[in-house]
A and B are shown apart, each in its own frame.
Chain A
């Protein structure tokens, strides 16, 4: 009734949005990026186990889309909050 890769899409959207929220607020880039890459690999493995290779592709595509949308939204908010200036917040 419901394709199992829909679960991977849901997981990917959530994970991508969480990751996109880091845009502009990472104080230790090396640690944060490596931790999030490892976490992404772990969740991608779960998606692969749960719904085969189609689930993995669905997870990666949906998380990438959500990441871009959230990061772009945060960037536009920051530009709007302090037009032409350097934002000092997180």
Chain B
């Protein structure tokens, strides 16, 4: 078997990177409970017949694709962690249920069932300047 060239390896890794990034994106914006279509989408992206046809078994290309896949997926997570750390309106709890601080100081939790307009107020943060 002929060894893959560097440009081929870079292409396979880049392809995996995009797919991994997109898989995190799809999983992040999934609504409600897990559907069969969600699982089929992920399987098709990470180990489907198209992937195995593109990157033949046992080759360096498959290894490069898998590495790119993991870098893209966890790169998305890494950027989310950085952004939530930088922002004053989000903290690490956002990863649990999407909670965030609204402009009026209330903490809103979007995944706590059906919310009335304006969100569910967990508590009101008192602004010391208004006292």
Residues of A near any B CB (own CB < 8 A): 1-11, 13-15, 17-18, 21-22, 26-28, 32, 35-36, 39, 42-43, 46-47, 49-52, 73-74, 77-78, 80-81, 88-90
Contact = CB atoms under 8 A, between A and B. Distances in A.
Given A1-B9, A7-B65, A39 B42 contact: yes
Interface of B: 3-4, 9, 16, 20, 23, 27, 33-34, 36, 39, 42-43, 46-48, 51-52, 55, 57-60, 62-71, 73-74, 77, 92-93, 95-97, 99, 109, 111-113
B95 A9 contact: no
B67 A2 contact: yes
A32 B99 CA distance: 25
B97 A4 contact: no
- Interface on chain B toward A: helix, strand, loop, or mixed SS? helix
A78 B92 CA distance: 11
A21 B111 CA distance: 14
A51 B50 CA distance: 16
A2 B23 contact: no
A9 B70 contact: yes
Given A1-B3, A7-B67, A77-B93, A50 B111 contact: no
A4 B58 contact: yes
Contacts of A77: 92-93, 95-96
Contacts of A8: 66
| Interface SS of chain A | helix
Contacts of B66: 6-11
Contacts of B113: 88
Contacts of A18: 23, 27, 42
Contacts of A32: 33-34
A39 B73 contact: no
A20 to B, nearest CB: 11
Q: A-B pairs with the 7 shortest C-beta distances?
A: A7-B66, A10-B66, A46-B47, A10-B70, A2-B63, A6-B63, A7-B62
